[in-house]
Structures are given as structure tokens and as C-alpha cells.
Amino acid sequence: MHIVCYPSIEGVFIKPCVARLVVLGPPDEIGIALPEDGIFEGAETNVTCRVFNGNPAPLVHWYLGSTNVTSNSSLRISKTRADIYDAESTLFFTPKRSDHGKCLICVAVQPGVPFPRFVNDSTVLTISYHPIVSIALRRLTTKETSGTAGFLLICTADANPLVIAFEWLCNETLILNVTGRTSLTDTSPERGPLSSSKLAIQTPVPEYPCIYRCTAKSRYGEGSVVFNPSTPSKFECATRAYVLKNNRAYFKD
């Protein structure tokens, strides 16, 4: 807008003086837009940050957790009829499973002013990734089973979205299919919910002629792990871990 000064001498107006008013200020609106179909591990992803009504033209910085990832972004500036600026920045990145639960932050700053101010928007990333599976071995006491003391195999999966089914195979033959009854064991902002399935073995593990495979399935994918009771090195490790960690031994294929 303009400021107009009308000087006068003895009631006679002289040619007015005009000054253009320039107001510096940070944008008054900012927002992050995520892909509508979600974010998936290993898939190239674009996230957009839109900034409105800033002067001078704002600069946009991106942070993934505490890491500055601005170098992986583009910036487009447009000028409005009111001579103020809008900006649109797009971040290009390939999410990893470890990015699940991290905070993504978009910051718009005023460049080249004595006392710059900023506005920001943030969102917590939800990354879809296939199940990461592990097996724990625990010895069963005679109170937990009727008959010969055996072992319990616990198959645990870290997955997002949640695991919907577990399959247990003995020598590649299906022996147990658990659907919709998996138990949640833990949740954390840094990972998806952990779910698990248990398989009781009455015969002592070293004598059981089975190679076990546990497969966890989700809507996004599946993952599996193999446990071979007859492998001496693994079973010896299991015995030592059992002594040191209260009946728990952990294996990962």
C-alpha cells in the first residue's frame, strides 16, 4: 500500500508526496502435505511444505529427526498481487524402517532481515515396512506341560502395519496357522507394534527331527526366520543364554 502526504501553504495544496509501505514479516501460514497413499520403506517419496504470505520471499529448511535434509529438496517461489510471497518446497527421500516414528519438520525463515523470525510445521512419520522376524527359545517346566518337559518357541515380528497371521512349518510342512489371534508384546514410537506367536514342543529340542520356519504376514508383506534344533552351535548358544538370561535364548536367521 501507499502512504500519501498532502502538504499545503496557506490552504493551497502542493503536489502530494507518495511513499510505498513495505512490511517485512514471516509467513502467516505453513503446512506439510504427506502422500495420500502412505509412506513405504524403500519407496521414493515426495513430501510438500507450502508457505503463504511472507516478505521477503521465505527460505524453507527440512529436518528429519535432528538431521538437516534441506539439500534433498526443491523450492518454488511465487509473488502475489499484494507483492508478498508464497513458497512451495518438496522434499525427496527414500524412507527406511528406522525412520518410522521420527519427526519431520518444515521451517520457513526470513532471509536478509536484521531480526529474522520463522514459522514451522511438523509431523510424525508412519512408515509401512515388512515384518522383521526373530525366534526366542524358552525351556518349559513340568508345571507348564503335561508330560515330558519340552521347549517353547516364541516367534516375534516387528511390523507396520500389524502382523495378521503367523505360520509355523516343520520341514516345510504346515503344522500351525494362527490368524487374527496374534498377541501384542510391545509398542514404541520408534517402531511398529511387536506381535508374537508361540509353539510348544513336548520332545526335547535336540531330539526333535524338525527344522522350524516361522513366517509372519501383514498387508504390506511377510518375513520369516528358520530355527534348526539339531545345529550344535545354535543349541549350545541357546544353553548358555538360558543360563544367563532366565530361560531365554534368541536366534535370528
pLDDT tens digits for range 166-207: 999 988 888 888 876 566 655 555 566 788 998 887 765 555
Residue 23: how many CB atoms within 10 A of its CB?
A: 7
Segment 14-24, tens digit of pLDDT: 888 899 888 88
The domain made up of 128-251 is a member of CATH 2.30.110.10: no
Residue 243 pLDDT > 90: no
DSSP per-residue letters across 151-162:
EEEEEEEEEESP
Of 174, 162, 158, 160, the closest CA to residue 214 belongs to 174
Burial code (b: 16+ CB inside 10 Å, e: under 16) for 156-182 equals bbbbbbbbebbbbbbeeeeeeebeeeb
Instruction: Give the number of C-alpha atoms closer than 13 A to the C-alpha of residue 77, restricted to the C-beta side.
Output: 13
- According to DSSP, residue 189 is labeled T
All cell numbers assigned to 54: 511472507
CA–CA separation, 125 vs 64, rounded Å?
A: 9
Q: 178 to each of 199, 215, 219, 226, how far by Cα in Å?
A: 10, 10, 15, 17
Question: What digits encode the pLDDT tens for the residues 99-146?
Answer: 999 999 999 998 988 888 899 999 999 999 999 999 988 877 655 444
Please return the burial class of 235, using the count of CB atoms within 10 Å of its CB with bins 0-12, 13-18 and 19+: middle
- Taking only the tens place, the pLDDT of each residue in 34-49 is 999 999 999 999 999 9
Domains 27-125 and 128-251 share a fold: yes
Domain parsing of the chain, residue ranges = 27-125, 128-251
How many angstroms separate the CA atoms of 200 and 204, rounded? 11
pLDDT for 7: 87
Q: Which residues contact 121 (CB under 8 A, 6 or more apart)?
A: 30, 31, 32, 49, 105, 106
Helix (H) or strand (E) holding 31: strand 29-33
Give the CATH fold of the 27-125 domain. Answer: Immunoglobulin-like (2.60.40)
